Amino acid sequence: MDDFGRAREYVRRMPAAISGQGGHQAAFAVARALVHGFALPLDKARVIMDEYNLRCSPPWKDCELNHKLQDAQKLTRVALPVGHLLSRGPRKGLHWPAVGKIGALHRNAWAGGGGRVG
């Protein structure tokens, strides 16, 4: 599977953004994974964000998705280098860039847990 396919599969395992249930954090975690973790250019990341958006409630507007991707691309204070998700999954001792619930979402996405935390 190529990097785009791996990124698509990774996002499929992340939870949908649901209004009132941490939707912004969930959608931004997806944007970060795509442009920072998988180092996808914005146009390719947007394709996967559009697919992800079909599961969100309510769906995000185009301008909101673009904004999330652009904000994710501007991140400068991230613990791991751009492209860190291009490896074959988490390595033992890997320090995830997010802590708490969002960090758990990333760990579960790799483990095939459907993004469930708890």
Per residue in 53-75, is it b (16+ CB within 10 Å) or e — as a string?
beebeeebeeeebeebbeebbee
pLDDT of residue 99: 39
| Tokens (6 digits) for 107 | 């760990």
The 10s digit of each residue's pLDDT in 15-67 is 999 999 999 999 999 999 999 999 999 999 999 999 999 999 999 999 999 99
Does residue 103 carry a pLDDT above 90? no
Does residue 90 carry a pLDDT above 70? no
**What is the overall mean pLDDT for the chain?**
81
d(CA 11, CA 95): 20
Look up the pTM and report it: 0.75
